[in-house]
Amino acid sequence: MATIKCRVNSIKLGKGNNIRVFVPESGRVKYPAVYMQHGLGDDETTAWTHSDLEAYASEADIIVVTADAEASWFCNDFRNGEEGSGGILWEDYFAYELPSYIEENFPAVSSAAGRGQCGFSMGGYGAMMLTLLHPERFTAVSAHSGSFMFGHEYRKNRPERAEFMKVVAPPGGRYDLFTLHEQSFVKDARMPAIRFDVGDHDHLLEHGRRFNHYLEENNVPHQYIEAEGSHLWSYVDKQLSDSFKFFADKLSI
């Protein structure tokens, strides 16, 4: 089946959101679904034009969804309104509204057992954050070159990001991956399956190593891979095949 272009009229975002959906042609009644999140500066089209995503999804017999996350970092943003009375709710959109739309309009499994998160760079962070914050919604996550320090510490070479973080995702807050075990793993018995990788020449290599160390210190089961490559889609494309084998093993119908 060709990739389908849709526009979701989102209540959580207060505007339309462009998405693309691939559905395999094997004839199943229901399929698991993986939500593939893009990096900063990319959009819902990037993964399809810079990788063989459709081939990997077809081989794994999995629906794939991409959506335009803009530069949101997948966080609820209340800068234009107080919590509960406005704002652009990216986290809520990706955790609840978008999966509900997919499950109402496509043959996707409507339970956590059939939902996974995947992503690159900003999207790697987003995929990890959404899964760990919502283990009742997602069963597995695979992140490529994730920008895991977002929400945890300010980067001196990214002053504009620091200003965004101060308001939306301050260190030690809801979106800090290095405190999420206190919010989800301790309180929820269901442990999502975690996989992440980073290239040995990637400028985010140390981010991956630090997050790996954090998970090891907290006895959180996970797979961590360092592979040859840098912070490019060509690197991600080489890893996606293993990611979809991981999802085929961890997700169910």
User: Mind listing the domains of the chain with CATH numbers?
Assistant: 4-250 (3.40.50.1820)
219 or 155, which is more confident = 219
Tens-digit pLDDT profile for residues 153-195 = 987 777 777 788 888 999 999 999 999 777 655 455 578 999 9
Mean residue pLDDT across the chain: 92
229-244 as b/e: b if 16+ CB within 10 A: bebebebbbbbbebbb
Query: Distances in Å between the alpha carbon of 14 and those of 96, 130, 250?
Result: 15, 20, 34
Please count the other Cβ atoms lying within 10 Å of the Cβ belonging to residue 191: 14
SS3 20: strand
H-helix or E-strand containing 142?
strand 140-144
pLDDT tens sequence across 101-141: 999 999 999 999 999 999 999 999 999 999 999 999 999 99
